[in-house]
Chains A and B, each alone.
Chain A
Amino acid sequence: MSIAIATGLYGISFGALGVASGLSVLQTVALSLLMFTGGSQFAFIGVLGGGGSAAAATAAAALLGIRNAVYGMQLNAMFGPRGWRRFAAAQITIDESTATASGQTDRREQRRGFWTAGLGVFVLWNVFTAVGAFAGNALGDPKQWGLDGAAVAAFLGLLWPRLKGREPVAIAVVCALATVLAVPFLPPGIPILVAALVAAVLGWVSHARAESGRLLAVEGLEPDVDPYSQRGRDRGARVGSPEAGPGGADASATGSAGTGPGEDGPPHDAGPVRGPEEGAS
């Protein structure tokens, strides 16, 4: 229920901000229907709203969607949908549905949780995006209503739950600074991609450092779901058997790992489906 309300309200804000960024109502609705992953959708309209090119918006959305591939791996290991279901499952592979599935230990319950949450959020997200888009269209000047300020708040709200520990904070600060420094020198939208590159380099370097002896898993740094939850946190287990168990074993371990998927939700990266209230992605 709380997911429904959160999704609805978040959908409305996406719809309104989408129209404010310069998309038509139909294009805004198309994003929710076809892209259906909140973080990427917000990135797309965020770049456009900042005056960036559509190509840069597409690149930012694509990069922010990478974590969904990790979710797909996780879900595939959990209950492995077959045939046409696999293609339908892919579309509703988002923060909320992955989080709900990971919260279950029984394979059948995982499957049921995934489809229920995924389809439920899909319907609500799209209905409320349309409501928001039409409302935004009727509002007139988006600045008068502070919609550009709402976008700032939305991105900070998506980022916030991930800032656990010193390393994620440092990465966020460095990337924000790199962006601001790049803005005057590069076309709009490109500074965001520069920040992505900086973040990737930092991830590469810090991985190398972690590999040389430090604890690998750092809160907030990992994607929301560990495809193979045995790894990382427990180095010992990794040496023993990289694949501790398909399906069930993995899922329960994921549920208890600090970086649960609930922490951020796509279409709305906004709300944790279950668990701590820190979530919004």
Chain B
Amino acid sequence: MSLWFWVLLACAVAYATKLLGYLVPRRWMQNERMTRIAGTVTIGLLASLTAVNAVASGQALTFDARIGSLVAAAAALVLRAPFLVVVLVGAAAAAGLRLLGWG
């Protein structure tokens, strides 16, 4: 039940953020520093989420089949594969490595 609370809260915050864009006076949005920070934070969060999902298991750092996914996904992206292909390649790499008995 408490997970539901956070799910709904996160949704409410997301909507409020969107609506805020329509409600703030124009000159507020001309703050270049804030727009720039919005950009760097997006990059930082995505990089962080990639790292956490690749090597963290709770509070431990582990190197398992997910590293294979990371490498395979990067290769797919270098080859300009579309997003879904990248995700499938990532899944296949982890599943395949586990099938071979690693991770």
Let me know if A223 and B38 touch, CB within 8 A.
yes
In the complex, whether A122 has a CB less than 8 A from a CB of chain B is no
In the complex, whether A127 has a CB less than 8 A from a CB of chain B is no
What's the dominant secondary structure at chain A's contact region? helix
Let me know if A153 and B43 touch, CB within 8 A.
no
Tell me the smallest distance from the CB of A180 to a CB of chain B, in Å: 5
Which 6 pairs between the two chains have the least Cβ-Cβ distance? A72-B21, A153-B90, A199-B44, A149-B94, A149-B69, A203-B40
Between A and B, 18 residue pairs with Cβ closer than 8 Å are A43-B49, A62-B10, A68-B14, A69-B20, A149-B68, A149-B94, A150-B69, A151-B53, A153-B91, A153-B93, A171-B47, A175-B45, A196-B41, A199-B41, A207-B33, A216-B32, A223-B35, A228-B30
A residues engaging B (CB < 8 A)?
A: 6, 9-10, 13, 23, 27, 30-31, 34-37, 39-40, 42-44, 46-47, 49-51, 54-55, 57-58, 60-77, 81, 86-87, 89-91, 93, 143-160, 162-163, 168, 171-180, 183-188, 191-192, 194-196, 198-200, 202-204, 206-207, 210-211, 216, 220-223, 226-228, 231-232, 242-243, 268, 270-271, 277-278, 280
B residues engaging A (CB < 8 A)?
A: 2-15, 17-22, 24, 26, 29-30, 32-33, 35-61, 65-66, 68-70, 72-74, 76-77, 80, 82-84, 86-96, 98
